[in-house]
Structure 1
Amino acid sequence: MRISFGLAWQAGHWLLPVALGAKLLAGAATGAVLLATNAALALLLAGTPTVERLMDALPVLLAVAAGGVARSVLSSVGDAANGKLAPRIDRAATVKLLERAVHVELVIIKNAEFRNLMSAAARGALSARMVTTYAIALVEALTGLIAAAGVLTVLHPALMPLMVVVTVPSAWGAVRMARARFTSMKRWTELQRQLETLSGLLIDSSPAEEVRAHRAGGFLLHHYQRLARLSEAEQARLARLEARTTLLSDGVAGVARLAMYGVLGALLVSGSVQMAVAGTVVIAIRSGTAHLTSLVSAVNDLYEQGLFVQDWKQACDRAEAEAIKGGTIELTSPPEQIFVRDLWFTYPNNEQPSVSGVNLTVRRGEIVALVGENGSGKTTLAKLMVGLYMPQSGAVWWDGHTTAEVNRASLYDHVALVAQDFVQWPFTARVNVTIGRSTRPPDPVSLHTSAEFGRAHEVVDRLDAGWDTLLAPEFLGGTMLSGGQWQRIGLARAHYRDAAVVIFDEPTAALDPRAEIEVFERVSDLANEGRAVVLVTHRMASVRRADRIYVLDRGEVIEQGTHDKLMALNGRYAELYTLQASQHQDPVSPRS
């Protein structure tokens, strides 16, 4: 409640005290209504009913009616304030989580344990609004229950302890089940994520072609059903536990309720209470029971949702602790040279290092190629060079400062990245290019130049709405692009960023040979303009014009030099280059 109320105050300020105050007064009105009811019954039951007696009781009856109306109005005011406050809390909690998540170190955001925590936290962000809603309902229920218990105490002290006995078993059962459901959810978070993944594979458009062509639907459905049965078994276990708990708590509460009415009957028979008091007690018990039901429900929901809010808080704290770290040095100008010295990096939970003792140099105006077979560490090294990953040992120097010493936000200002699996933003074609510099207003001249660089203008010219076409077929009016078309958009985006250091990670994987040749000519143009270009690829023919080529194997640089030098060395590079070249030179055998 403390966490949620803090969010509520940030999101709504006066709305929270208004909602709480209105519900508090609504609950307190219950006591006033009961006392007025007792006074009215005392007048009406004091003797034989007459018109005069009814007229004497009329002011008190009007007070009862006014109290009921006031209670309803106050409760409605509280509901209205909470209705306005709840979505604000939802937004505040979600934004706070996302603000921290977007700054988490890249290597952590991909960690399975952290992903599970973030999945639970996403629900916790929604639970924050529910905690506030249930807490506000709890205030009214608790105040009403206290009011009813107070009236019972005033009428006869022996009745109030029995109402407490009725309350405790139900509250115990609610808290016990809330804890059980929360523990189960925590234990099965990974299972739920797997079910969501399998469901997405069966429904989403991206894997749809292969699912159908390879008839993988049955395989995926089989595994979904297997995991779903595990989930069903856990839910059945919870249902059995809830049935036993409810039976026990309701049984004890029922005995207490029977004892309460028994005591009331004995008091009435013995003459300890008058008939008017007995009538008021019955109404108070009914009112108290209704408030008790609301109280137990609110406590149950509040406790359960509160546990998820704690997950949200834990995720926010973890994300803050795992935020991108860096120094205070601001890079106000692009680097002249990048030096990598004795660099080591191992992914979490991996034993073998992905980068082992690497040394290399990149200068402005040069094209440096990182080549090697899949898994050789090329992409990991490129990300280390631009501060997306931080090494466990060694350093990456940007001129006279290491990536650990500089403010990495200022470092990223000088970096453009074109990855093979770059993001296909669900926005217009214009935004998909200009998002490369989202912090400044779009520049039509730069957009045109960048589109020509990546040949993206050829794609945009064919779109119905040109640059204003939505590139998201999952939304109404959206258009689907091919892989090659998207790659041209991605190249234009990187050029629009106008960064001094450009990382091309398999940039031409989806392009035809003619387009690939043109792209590498443009890459050469970028170097001629004074940019440092790092080319990550397994296509050896693409790196012939690189100033230096580094050949990686299992995270180590095993060869380096120009194309001619490496061919003369007749080592791994020459072997791979010759192998790839022979694949394109083999004659096609005619059909017999």
Structure 2
Amino acid sequence: MIAILARKIQNLQTNLKLKRTIKLVWSAAKGWMLFSVSMIIVETVLFLGSLYALKLLVDEISKINVHDPEAEYQIVKHVVIAGIFSILYSIARFVSAYAIEVQATKVSNFIDDRIHETAIQMDLSYYESPAYFDILKRAKDAGADRPNLVITTLLEITKNVLNLCAIGSLFIAINWLLLPLLIVFALPTLFVRIYFSNKQNEWRIKHTPLERKSGYLSNLLTSDISAKEIRSYNLGTYFKKLYLTFRMEILQQKLDLSYKRTSKEIITTGIGSIGFFTCIAYIALGTVSGTNSVGDIVMFLMIFPQSFNLIQYISSGISILYTNNIFINSIFELFDLKPSSSDQGFSREIPVRTEMDLIVKDLNFTYPGSDRPTLKNISLRIPLGKIIAIVGLNGAGKSTLIKLLCGLYKVDSGEISLGNININQFDVSTYRRQVSAVFQDFSRYNFSAEENIWFGNIDKEAVYQEIVKASENAGASSFIEKLPNGYKSMMGKLFEDGHEVSIGQWQKLAIARALYSEARFLILDEATSALDALAEKELFESFRKHIGNRAAVIISHRHSAVKHADYIYVLSGGQILQEGTDSDLLNMEGDYSKLFKENIEV
């Protein structure tokens, strides 16, 4: 029994992180928090003052002497005082509500910013983990307004407790047991609410994956990305039925939990009501027997219901406080995540010299959660001023190697060096600016064409001439200049006045973005897959001409994209099995000749 009670107390302490929540709100809006607390105190004082002023008015009326010339003045004076307190109390309530609203807005913005900041700092591996998306969803569902609700609820509880103490002190004149009895009768409902708050939280954590599945289906049904295929394959009805199946399962279980909670609360509330009327009967019978005076029963009937309501408000407030704290724990769960690829104190500056190669030596890598190596004993060199190609069948490990070169993952063993310095000794963000990649699944930003290119080097102010130059070298200027507002034209159809273009034109924008960067190493991962043969030829001719002191890594299944590379590495099964020039590899037995020799593109 003691062990069970200890576990429950431990569970309460784990879920009720008041101190951390208060610190969070303090960080977001300490000035407004102080002002809100002050206004709650002022509001409470004015409320009690107005009650006392009314008491003095009643006392003055009860002892009035109609023949006293000062009587009228005294009554008017107390009415004015009571009125002033009432007006000030109303003003304080409005000011307090405004302060709480401002505080809530600031806290909400602070939480949103922290969630976004945490998300962009996380390693790429988190975005390949369902557990991370479960945590992220729970944090978003918790709501950015809950931390502030905890503070305001705590203040409301405090205010109600003070009011209860002020009113309840009058019970002492009647019977000191009345107030403790009322509290005891209210406790069962409070325990039921806390119990089901825990159950709701357990259910929420357990069903987060199902919630995400239903959200995914909803996005499929409403997204512009999947709209064409859903209509082409007539998938809409199937996805809609599947979504409804998931939603009905979720809603039914929620309703079942709500039904159990409601039935238990009906019982405990009934117990509380029985206790309430039992106390009334006790006082009434005491009046009949002469134990209590008529004045006692009048005062009792005036303040007892109000006290009972205050106790109910306090009980409800504690339940709300506890429930909100449970949800806030999901926000803290996200904030407590740490990127595994932290800099570990290294912040070595990137050398300014130009004779730097990117060198991979004996690299091995296995994805987190997998026991099968993706890359084994990889060694290669990417010299500045040269074009290097990496070729291999699907699943050979090419995209994984690109992620490692971009600093998106840490290698398990071996190393990647920049100018003979291990890249782990550099600040991650600083190193990543040295490598600019056009990924296979490149992003299409619904911003202006100019901004789409500028995103390649957002750390410096946009230079229009350089943006145009990068666009021309990528072959994107020909269609951008035909848009109604040229480089100022909004891309995509997501927003008003947007212009949709072909996937090949989007790809040229992505290449222009990479060319606009100041990175020394450019990586094109199937970056010409959406271009026609002529556009690809023009791009690589321009690329070779303008590469300068940069290096380029080209990954492609097309011979036309890799044949002019200075050196080629062939990946197979996570290992480099062949390397050499195009002519060397065509004359060797292996994957390269199998891919290209029989059908060489001209």
Report the TM-score when normalising by structure 1. 0.91
Residue 280 to residue 464, structure 1, CA distance change in 2 (3 Å): farther
1:214 counterpart letter in structure 2? Y
The superposition leaves residues 230-263 of structure 1 with CA deviations (integer Å, 9 ceiling, x where unpaired) of: 2123112212221222123212211221222223
Contact 1:29 1:67 in 2 (8 A): yes
Contact 1:30 1:147 in 2 (8 A): no
**Offset at 1:86?**
0.6
Aligned pair partner of 1:557 in 558, 569, 576: 576
- 1:425 and 1:29 mapped to 2: Cα distance? 55
1:560 counterpart letter in structure 2? E
The superposition leaves residues 451-495 of structure 1 with CA deviations (integer Å, 9 ceiling, x where unpaired) of: 101122122112222222222422222222221111111111111
Of residues 270-279 and 488-497 in structure 1, the stretch that sits farther from structure 2 once superposed is 270-279
- 1:166 and 1:54 mapped to 2: Cα distance? 46
Secondary structure of the corresponding residue to residue 148 of structure 1? helix
The superposition leaves residues 246-285 of structure 1 with CA deviations (integer Å, 9 ceiling, x where unpaired) of: 1232122112212222233234334454444433333323
Secondary structure of the corresponding residue to residue 13 of structure 1? helix
Matched, 1:2 2:22: no
Residue 301 to residue 224, structure 1, CA distance change in 2 (3 Å): same
Contact 1:105 1:323 in 2 (8 A): no
2:367 counterpart letter in structure 1? Y
- 1:279 and 1:484 mapped to 2: Cα distance? 85
- Quote the residue 1:407 is aligned against: 427
Residue 202 to residue 459, structure 1, CA distance change in 2 (3 Å): same
Secondary structure of the corresponding residue to residue 499 of structure 1? coil
The superposition leaves residues 116-168 of structure 1 with CA deviations (integer Å, 9 ceiling, x where unpaired) of: 11221223451223323333333333333333323434554232112312432
- Quote the residue 2:92 is aligned against: 74
- Quote the residue 2:501 is aligned against: 481
Of residues 315-324 and 80-89 in structure 1, the stretch that sits farther from structure 2 once superposed is 315-324
- 1:384 and 1:174 mapped to 2: Cα distance? 50
- Quote the residue 2:15 is aligned against: none
Secondary structure of the corresponding residue to residue 370 of structure 2? coil
2:110 counterpart letter in structure 1? A
Gaps spanning 5+ residues in structure 2: where?
1-17
- Quote the residue 2:325 is aligned against: 306
- Quote the residue 2:5 is aligned against: none
1:435 counterpart letter in structure 2? F
Residue 381 to residue 563, structure 1, CA distance change in 2 (3 Å): same
- Quote the residue 1:95 is aligned against: 113
- 2:377 and 2:424 mapped to 1: Cα distance? 18
Aligned pair partner of 1:12 in 21, 29, 43: 29
- 1:429 and 1:419 mapped to 2: Cα distance? 19
Residue 314 to residue 164, structure 1, CA distance change in 2 (3 Å): same
Of residues 488-497 and 119-128 in structure 1, the stretch that sits farther from structure 2 once superposed is 119-128
- Quote the residue 1:110 is aligned against: 128
Number of aligned residue pairs: 582
Aligned pair partner of 1:349 in 369, 372, 376: 369
Contact 1:45 1:275 in 2 (8 A): no
Matched, 1:123 2:147: no
**Offset at 1:63?**
4.9
Secondary structure of the corresponding residue to residue 462 of structure 1? coil
- 1:322 and 1:307 mapped to 2: Cα distance? 30
Aligned pair partner of 2:186 in 167, 181, 202: 167
- Quote the residue 1:281 is aligned against: 300
Matched, 1:367 2:379: no
- 1:66 and 1:266 mapped to 2: Cα distance? 40
Gaps spanning 5+ residues in structure 1: where?
586-592
**Offset at 1:361?**
1.0
Contact 1:454 1:492 in 2 (8 A): yes
Aligned pair partner of 1:442 in 437, 462, 470: 462
Contact 2:118 2:334 in 1 (8 A): no
Contact 1:506 1:538 in 2 (8 A): yes
Contact 1:104 1:323 in 2 (8 A): no
1:108 counterpart letter in structure 2? Y
1:507 counterpart letter in structure 2? A
1:139 counterpart letter in structure 2? T
Of residues 243-252 and 362-371 in structure 1, the stretch that sits farther from structure 2 once superposed is 243-252
- 2:103 and 2:24 mapped to 1: Cα distance? 10
- 1:509 and 1:326 mapped to 2: Cα distance? 40
- 1:401 and 1:298 mapped to 2: Cα distance? 59
Aligned pair partner of 1:196 in 215, 231, 239: 215
Contact 2:586 2:597 in 1 (8 A): no
Residue 522 to residue 63, structure 1, CA distance change in 2 (3 Å): same
Contact 1:174 1:296 in 2 (8 A): no
Secondary structure of the corresponding residue to residue 411 of structure 1? helix
- 1:151 and 1:578 mapped to 2: Cα distance? 100
- Quote the residue 2:552 is aligned against: 533
- Quote the residue 1:239 is aligned against: 258
- 2:329 and 2:98 mapped to 1: Cα distance? 27
- Quote the residue 2:522 is aligned against: 502
Aligned pair partner of 2:588 in 569, 572, 578: 569
Residue 461 to residue 16, structure 1, CA distance change in 2 (3 Å): same
> Sequence identity, in percent?
22
- 1:551 and 1:391 mapped to 2: Cα distance? 20
Residue 155 to residue 360, structure 1, CA distance change in 2 (3 Å): same
1:569 counterpart letter in structure 2? M
- 2:197 and 2:43 mapped to 1: Cα distance? 27
- 1:485 and 1:297 mapped to 2: Cα distance? 59
The superposition leaves residues 194-232 of structure 1 with CA deviations (integer Å, 9 ceiling, x where unpaired) of: 111100000111100100010111221232122122212
Residue 65 to residue 255, structure 1, CA distance change in 2 (3 Å): farther
Residue 62 to residue 282, structure 1, CA distance change in 2 (3 Å): farther
Residue 443 to residue 461, structure 1, CA distance change in 2 (3 Å): same
Contact 1:339 1:360 in 2 (8 A): yes
2:533 counterpart letter in structure 1? P
Contact 2:183 2:311 in 1 (8 A): no
- Quote the residue 1:420 is aligned against: 440
**Offset at 1:82?**
0.7
Residue 45 to residue 433, structure 1, CA distance change in 2 (3 Å): same
Contact 1:433 1:447 in 2 (8 A): yes
- 2:499 and 2:162 mapped to 1: Cα distance? 57
Aligned pair partner of 2:356 in 330, 336, 344: 336
- 2:280 and 2:342 mapped to 1: Cα distance? 61
Contact 1:37 1:280 in 2 (8 A): no
Of residues 284-293 and 306-315 in structure 1, the stretch that sits farther from structure 2 once superposed is 284-293
- Quote the residue 2:6 is aligned against: none
Residue 146 to residue 519, structure 1, CA distance change in 2 (3 Å): farther
**Offset at 1:60?**
5.0
Contact 1:340 1:360 in 2 (8 A): yes
The superposition leaves residues 345-379 of structure 1 with CA deviations (integer Å, 9 ceiling, x where unpaired) of: 11122221111111111111111111111111101
Matched, 1:186 2:205: yes
Matched, 1:220 2:242: no
Residue 120 to residue 287, structure 1, CA distance change in 2 (3 Å): same
2:247 counterpart letter in structure 1? A
